[in-house]
Structure 1
Amino acid sequence: MASQSLPCLYKNPDHYLKAFHIFCSASGKFNVYQAWVDGERFSEAVVDKLQATLDGQEGLRVLGVGSGSGEIDCAILKRLLRQFPRIDNRVVDPSDELLGRYKALAESKAHQLHGVTCDWRQQTIEQYEKAGDLTKFHFISAIDSIYHAEDALDSWLTYLYSRLENGGVMLVIMRTDDSGFTRFLNGFQRFHANYHDVTSGDVRSCLDRLGITYTQYRQPRRMNITTCFDRASEEGNLLLDFLTFTVCFREAAPEGLQTWVMEHLASSDCLERKGDEILLNLDWDAVVVNKPLGMVG
């Protein structure tokens, strides 16, 4: 089967947002990240490092890369405000729709984000770099935002590291290279043209090549995908579209491919069973870089 025959989800923004919404709901994505940000690990990995290097009178400069609709960024900003009462928050995301949602969310939480000023940039990180802004940041986050940057990963991370202030912290959150979802995609990716999938393992390997030290925090996560095996479930079909990166997978894929994909997804390599529930392993890593004081450039 020709890989080009499957319509890519990322080329249909409206359908992507529908499928992404279902994925976030089914996986509890925002709640999981919120709990991590509110916990000891985030304090240890990010807040304590920033407190140790920042002048208490200086405002905190934050860069969010691929921040999407802003739920995770807002949780991070609320946590940082406990120690840093003035935050300049720059957001770089190419989606006008998602930036609009982020703006609306920030407005609805204005009472919780008092002290935060936002600067919105509807750009890819490549476009942002080409614009030549020389601002440096104390904290940079890239959360689930570089899954298809395989060919540009080294330059992407090198650039972000150059935008980090000495003593600053960069947080990259990615799905692990051995999660069930990754194992599923490794078998399925040949059915999409020019498909690349970046995991936390790729990020760590890249940082190793660049000589940039980091700390890794592994976090378990499971998602109930039982509805994916119910052809009549609208939610399940949208979730399957997200997992396969395909617009209307059950309509677009021939029967033989559908059978293979569902059997692959149902294999023990990808999921676990708990009673009547079918759970997909979505383990993720938080990779934290602390730029040493005294660095040049």
Structure 2
Amino acid sequence: MRKQEVIRIKHNMASSMRSLFSDHGRYVECFRRFLNNSTEHQCMLEFMDKQLPGIIARIGDTKSEIKILSIGGGAGEIDLQILSKVKAQYPGVHINNEVVEPSAEQITKYKELVAKTSNLENIKFAWHKETSSEYQNRVMEKKDIHKWDFIHMIQMLYYVKDIPATLKFFHSLLATNAKILIIVVSGTSGWDKLWKKYGSCLPQNDLCEYVTSSDLTQMLDSLGIKYECYDLLSNMDITDCFIDGNENGELLWDFLTETCNFTMTAPPDLKAEIMKDLQEPEFSVRIEGKVLFNNNLSFIVIEA
């Protein structure tokens, strides 16, 4: 077979790969499997317990109301942890918590969580079904610019087209002593290496950008915005990815590659190469027979 024919066949096979974001139901299930198999939420909760109280120590000084803006608040689990820390820091102070979230399904889950959570007195909730850029456009058009005491963007900057403009805009909304908390994957994580090496071989989509803390800190430096960056260790158990036909492994593969049915649609040589790489020390460690992918997170705190 001539080389050109091999390339054409590979191209045709590759073209059958489609973005995981084209199948919302499957994406949601893959994300759920990722959370079940990773220490992502535990890592965030550890940060909230140990670091957040110091970070928010002055955001409510001399204020009768603390205004918090959650960008991409999802189903609200982490948001409520943040609110509990702010409440503990400023007992009795009214908190106005506004949420910008494009998924109606996630907003519904967030409202259900609030309804069954006690100890939320003094907290007023409002939800806006929109993306961060839609929020930005609405605010600018109406010239309805509020200042916020705490803004957080947790694992959402991947879905923003113009990140520097977004950072600059939200930084301009900070009140006195206010902070922005951003959580993204670390530049030291396996994600960084995976995206850099294989991003161009995987389905390109308009929904998701490959961005890590290394990219963000460079952007913040060029914007002249002050920040602190904390790295926390996290991992994702991908052992099932190396068991043929394992359903959990198949879904984790989809999440890792952002490809719908990756193992069935990827060219065999690409699949074999990624499979081999993901077991290498730069991507994962082996502990007690498990393959743990490096899911390290960065917590970036921006000052007003």
| TM-score, normalised via structure 2 length | 0.89
Counterpart AA for 1:104: E
**Larger Rg belongs to:** 2
> Is there any run of 5+ residues in structure 1 with no aligned partner, and where?
292-297
Q: Which residue of 2 aligns with 1:80?
A: 86
CA deviations over 1:205-241 (Å, ceiling 9, x no partner): 1111111111111111122110111122211111111
Please tell me whether the aligned partners of residues 70 and 151 of structure 2 are also in contact (alpha carbons under 8 angstroms): yes
Alpha-carbon distance, 1:80 to partner = 0.8
Q: Which runs of 4 or more aligned residues in structure 1 lie more than 4 Å from their structure 2 counterparts after TM superposition?
A: 1-4
Tell me the SS of whatever aligns to 1:119.
strand
- The yes-or-no answer on 1:183 pairing with 2:193 is yes
Alpha-carbon distance, 1:83 to partner = 2.3
Alpha-carbon distance, 1:4 to partner = 4.8
Alpha-carbon distance, 1:166 to partner = 2.5
Please tell me whether the aligned partners of residues 52 and 85 of structure 2 are also in contact (alpha carbons under 8 angstroms): no
- The 1-side partners of 2:300 and 2:213 are apart by 7
CA deviations over 1:131-156 (Å, ceiling 9, x no partner): 1241221000001111243x501101
Q: How does 1:133-212 map to 2 (within 5 A)?
A: 133-149=144-160, 151-191=161-201, 192-194=203-205, 196-212=209-225
Counterpart AA for 1:72: I
Q: Which residue of 1 aligns with 2:240?
A: 227
| TM-score, normalised via structure 1 length | 0.91
Counterpart AA for 1:204: T
Q: Which residue of 1 aligns with 2:116?
A: 108
Tell me the SS of whatever aligns to 1:147.
helix
Match for residue 124 of structure 1 among 117, 131, 139: 131
Match for residue 251 of structure 2 among 238, 245, 258: 238
Q: Which residue of 2 aligns with 1:49?
A: 58
Q: CA RMSD in A?
A: 1.6
Tell me the SS of whatever aligns to 2:236.
strand
Tell me the SS of whatever aligns to 1:25.
helix
Alpha-carbon distance, 1:168 to partner = 0.5
Query: How many pairs align?
Result: 284
Tell me the SS of whatever aligns to 1:55.
coil
Tell me the SS of whatever aligns to 2:272.
helix
> Is there any run of 5+ residues in structure 2 with no aligned partner, and where?
1-9
Q: Which residue of 1 aligns with 2:99?
A: 91
Please tell me whether the aligned partners of residues 43 and 233 of structure 2 are also in contact (alpha carbons under 8 angstroms): no
Please tell me whether the aligned partners of residues 90 and 119 of structure 1 are also in contact (alpha carbons under 8 angstroms): yes
- The 2-side partners of 1:135 and 1:108 are apart by 29
